[in-house]
Structure 1
Amino acid sequence: MTDTTEPPVIPDAQAVTTADLTAALAAGWRDFLKAPMFGIVFGALFSVIGITIYLQLVVQGSSYWILPLACGFPLVGPFLAVGLYEVSRELEAGQKPTWPRIFRTILGQSQGQVPSMAFVVLFFYLVWVYLAHLVFALSFGLRPLTNVMTSADLLFSPQGITMLLVGTIVGGALAALLFAVTVMAVPMIVDRDVDVVTAMIRSFTFVRDNAGTMALWAVIVVVLSILGSLPGFLGMILVFPVLGHATWHLYRRAYPRGDG
């Protein structure tokens, strides 16, 4: 029997401006105030994961991994914010957010596309960790792994400067690619019956067509994430949920409700 199911129709995205970024942040803050418990739980979870990774590395004497893992950790943010997207979606629909619906979204709604996106994000993260190790090896040769961030002599040596430059370029390129393919994709698979590949393509196209605005959004996310991470990741209890809700509202400005 031939399957005649038509693929979901996704309308073209609307352009966004810097005014939309401001509006999205304001809406994100309002959603946090409307459902603070959900935001605090997800923000605390994000912070606990970061603190746990840090402490585990220190205990194991693997502090040389702290910098690459700290730089790469925010890459998983879009996936960890899935629950926040669902909270905003329910608030938008006039519903009271509930944990059962949120967990259904995280664990299997949209025909398993959310878990599939988790594998995509994890793959990017593992690639970053591998590349960070590779950049260190290419910069310092066969020297045993060292936490160069605690050694000024190593950090400001020609090899250390080379490592920082190459690591910044490689890490920035990888982060930009992951940002482009997930920033709209993750909210889209929460909102629509769409597969991961289609959502990623749409997200990449949207970022390409709104490069300037989305570059500014990426800078905002990075700056707020750094500020939130400075006091032992504790600031992310507030920053993470607000950014998560704001990302949903930015998605909604690109793909208004009822447009397809």
Structure 2
Amino acid sequence: MSTTETNGSDGAPPPAATPRIDPTRVNAVTFNAIVDALAAGMRDFRTAPTYGIFFGAVFTFGGILVVLTAAALKIGYLSYPLAIAFGMIGPFAAVGLYEVSRRLERNIPLDWPGVLGVIWAQRKRELAWMAFVVLFIQIMWMYQVRLLLALFLGFQSFASFGDFLQVVVTTPEGITFLIVGNLVGAALSIILFSLTVVSFPMLLDRDVDFITAMITSVRSVVTSPRAMIGWALVVTITLVLSMLPLFLGLLVTLPVLGHTTWHLYRRLVPPQEVLAGPQPEASSSGSSDGDPA
């Protein structure tokens, strides 16, 4: 083979192939990364408590409203649409916490128009599709509960919630319903956690599609299963304890967890400049603008 055929028709060497960048690459982390991210999340909350309490209130009072419609107000027919609406709003409120942490990390001044403007801009980005994924899994959870109720307890009605609990914990059918329902709910929770653990902060931080974000999120869980299981347990236990005092503990714990999620994302997903790698130096035979000398 001639030199001309090897190097090209003009004898110049062929251009180097551009390395393919894997946007779903993740770092393996240990539980120490969770501890460090949690400390950073607490620091962000102390630095900007007003923002944290505001977004925490969105989650807290949204959840309380859903519960009240089903229990105290006895208008259960509104619980379903309210739960769906809250499932759509929740991720966007979380973006506000991520944006606050992002600005603190980069020493960008905090202001309400800027933070709220970032949230508003997400309606036209991939994050809106990610919110639909969360909504879809939430609807699946609701319908599987109704399906299991029909399968194990039939279509009987209950005079009160106490009567329902008595049937569930004292009859073979009710206990079976609890076991199967918890297993199915746990499976859906694992799926939702794996798909979203870094998806939302990644969609805020980078120009990627929601499929890429979900793949990256799942890879984070698969790559560091012990640390991610530990983080899931921290989130679950914290939320359960926060709900005991009339949900008011969520005003503080939810923003801390939101800030922590941002810092955990930063530890799990390498920065874009690291993914891209060092840029090739310009050839010494050419001028600065790339034209031949």
TM-score (norm 2): 0.77
More helix as a share of residues: 1
Residue correspondences, number: 248
Change (3 A) 1:147 1:215: farther
Name the counterpart of 1:30: 43
Tell me the alpha carbon deviations over residues 39-59 of structure 1, each in whole angstroms, 9 at most, x when there is no partner: 000111111001111111121
Deviation at residue 181 of structure 1 after TM alignment = 0.7
Moved more, 139-148 or 181-190: 139-148
Name the counterpart of 1:50: 63
Gaps of 5+ in 1: 1-6
Report the residue type matching 1:202 in the other structure: T
Name the counterpart of 2:282: none
Name the counterpart of 2:196: 182
Residue from 154, 166, 176 that aligns with 1:162: 176
Tell me the alpha carbon deviations over residues 154-186 of structure 1, each in whole angstroms, 9 at most, x when there is no partner: 122111111111111111100100110111111
Q: Could you say what secondary structure the match of 2:208 adopts?
A: coil
Residue from 226, 232, 235 that aligns with 1:221: 235
Tell me the alpha carbon deviations over residues 178-231 of structure 1, each in whole angstroms, 9 at most, x when there is no partner: 110111111100111111011001111111111111011101100001111111
Identity rate, percent: 42
Contact 2:24 2:213 in 1 (8 A): no
Q: Does residue 249 of structure 2 align to residue 235 of structure 1?
A: yes
Residue from 141, 144, 149 that aligns with 2:157: 144
Deviation at residue 96 of structure 1 after TM alignment = 2.0
Residue from 83, 90, 113 that aligns with 2:103: 90
Tell me the alpha carbon deviations over residues 9-31 of structure 1, each in whole angstroms, 9 at most, x when there is no partner: 52621111010011111000000
Residue from 92, 103, 123 that aligns with 2:116: 103
Tell me the alpha carbon deviations over residues 112-171 of structure 1, each in whole angstroms, 9 at most, x when there is no partner: 112121111111111111111111111101212676565553122111111111111111
Contact 1:79 1:117 in 2 (8 A): no
Distance 2:238 2:215 in 1: 27
Report the residue type matching 1:219 in the other structure: L
Name the counterpart of 1:255: 269
Contact 1:43 1:240 in 2 (8 A): yes
Distance 1:211 1:77 in 2: 26
Residue from 110, 120, 125 that aligns with 1:112: 125
Contact 2:88 2:132 in 1 (8 A): no
Distance 1:75 1:213 in 2: 28
Contact 1:105 1:114 in 2 (8 A): no
Change (3 A) 1:148 1:32: same
Gaps of 5+ in 2: 1-19, 276-293
Distance 1:215 1:29 in 2: 21
Asked which structure has the greater RCO (Cα within 8 Å, sep 6+), the reply is 1
Based on CA coordinates, which of the two structures has the bigger radius of gyration? 2
Moved more, 96-105 or 184-193: 96-105
What is the RMSD of the two structures over their aligned residues, measured on CA atoms?
Answer: 2.6
Contact 1:107 1:115 in 2 (8 A): no
TM-score (norm 1): 0.86
Q: After TM superposition, where is structure 1 displaced by more than 3 Å over at least 4 residues in a row?
A: 73-80, 145-152
Report the residue type matching 1:237 in the other structure: L
Residue from 125, 139, 153 that aligns with 1:126: 139
Deviation at residue 82 of structure 1 after TM alignment = 1.5
Report the residue type matching 2:274 in the other structure: D
